[in-house]
Amino acid sequence: MSSPKPIYNNWLDRWIFTSFPMSAEALGLYRILFALYLLVWGVPNFEWIADSPNSFFNPPTYSLGALFNGFPPYWFLQGLSLFILALTMLLLFGWFTRWVSIALCIAIVIGKSFSFSYGLIGQDLIVWLVPLLMSFSNWGSKYSIDARRSSAPLVNSSWPITMMALLLGFGMFSAGVPKLMGGWLDLGTHATRGHFFTQYYVIGNLKLLSSWAINITNPFFWEAMDWGAVLFEILFLAAIIKPKWFRFWLLLSIGFHTTTFLLFNISFHFQYIVYLLFIDWGKITPSFYQRFQTLTNKLINIKGLIVLALLYIPLYILAQENTLQPTTLAPSPLLLATDLLGLDYKLVVGITALMAAYAAVIWQLTTKRNSTTT
């Protein structure tokens, strides 16, 4: 007998706890997708920091790095990177999922506090907050070793998904306010074009549509880019009020990142795995979950975890020894493959993630049937 659904007496409670309902099956599926994303594209790697001289050490004031006088030794960074890899594998199989999720977030944040010590803070921090928040959703209650070990069903929560939407909204808003205050809406200047010139002439990003865009002199085009970027980022926070608005804004966001990718050669593929969290996977037919349950029953177990470790770790070591391109991600087999084929790793990742994100969000927006199965 199912427990009665809670009654929420005000709009705020309803918004927090019911905006993004997701079934246990959907949460389990997303956990697997998130862990696979890290293993395929590459888990965060911090060994490269050990090669940097301490003269580069300039950590943010409020960070773990500020407690140190220089970069940590190689053995610590290597151990931290391997620990993150092990936690990612455990997350994929859902073994002690809540504690593994929290530990994964903490370990990555520790490493990031040192990688941010060069004076430049990356834009991917929100990705590493996903395991922390989702640990409270019980995303290990299905398709996991934990589900087999637990005698009582775990209760799932959807409020962490709402909090992720709020973080995304504030993140975009915080990116838009400096642009607004910095004069991006001034009709006499073209801030986007200035950034484009920096990427093209100074950094040397000449791929994709850069050679075409360098010849665009129409002031209305560049001014529209300025206004579009500011309004899109500022209004992102307001879009979280309604889930349908928010998902539509995610579609705009993918278009925004696509434009940035094509013109500036800057890939935001790490954002796409976060966007997939807001897809209502409950709209997938029940027969899919049944087939997926059958598949995971065969693969998601301790033997499967051991087999993955025995297969993946040698490839990890091989990729680390033979990767030609420097990267802040652990050299995954995909990175090694793209190097051997002479392909641009970021281009392959960006285009693949872009196509997947577009397909998922458009599918969500065009599907009329709703599902709130819990």
The residue type found at 3 is S
Residue 357, in any domain of the structure: no
pLDDT per position as a tens digit, 47-60:
888 888 888 888 87
pLDDT per position as a tens digit, 186-195:
888 889 888 8
Instruction: State percent of the chain over pLDDT 70.
Output: 78
* Per-residue confidence (pLDDT) for residue 359, from 0 to 100: 67
105 and 180: one domain? no
Q: Answer with the one of 267, 300, 324 that is the final residue of a domain.
A: 267
Residue 76, in any domain of the structure: yes
pLDDT per position as a tens digit, 213-267:
888 888 898 999 999 999 999 999 999 998 888 988 888 888 888 788 778 877 7
Residue 372, in any domain of the structure: no
* Per-residue confidence (pLDDT) for residue 124, from 0 to 100: 79
164 and 261: one domain? yes
Residue 341 zone, left/alpha/beta (φ > 0; ψ -120 to 50; rest): alpha
Domain count of the fold of the chain: 2
Radius of gyration over alpha carbons of the chain, in Å?
Answer: 22
60 and 135: one domain? yes
315 and 338: one domain? yes
Residue 30, in any domain of the structure: yes
d(CA 333, CA 315): 6
Residue 98, in any domain of the structure: yes
Is the pLDDT at 369 greater than 60? The verdict is no
Q: How confident is the model at residue 89 (pLDDT cuts 50, 70, 90)?
A: very high
Residue 370, in any domain of the structure: no
Residue 12, in any domain of the structure: no
Residue 254, in any domain of the structure: yes
User: In the numeric block, which tokens belong to residue 213?
Assistant: 């865009």
pLDDT per position as a tens digit, 278-315:
876 666 666 777 788 888 888 899 999 998 888 888 77
118 and 77: one domain? yes
* Per-residue confidence (pLDDT) for residue 322, from 0 to 100: 60
132 and 26: one domain? yes
Read off the pTM.
0.83
186-195 contact pairs (CB < 8 A, 24+): 187/223, 189/226, 190/219, 190/222, 190/223, 190/225, 190/226, 191/226, 192/222, 192/225, 192/226, 192/229, 193/222, 193/225, 195/264
144 and 170: one domain? no
- Picking from 278-282, 327-331, 335-339, which range would have the lowest pLDDT averaged per residue? 327-331
116 and 197: one domain? no
58 and 147: one domain? yes
211 and 185: one domain? yes
* Per-residue confidence (pLDDT) for residue 366, from 0 to 100: 65
State which residues form the domain around 169: 158-267
109 and 170: one domain? no
Is the pLDDT at 362 greater than 70? The verdict is no
User: In the numeric block, which tokens belong to residue 354?
Assistant: 């872009």
For residues 157 and 141, the answer to whether their CB atoms sit within 8 Å is: no
162 and 147: one domain? no
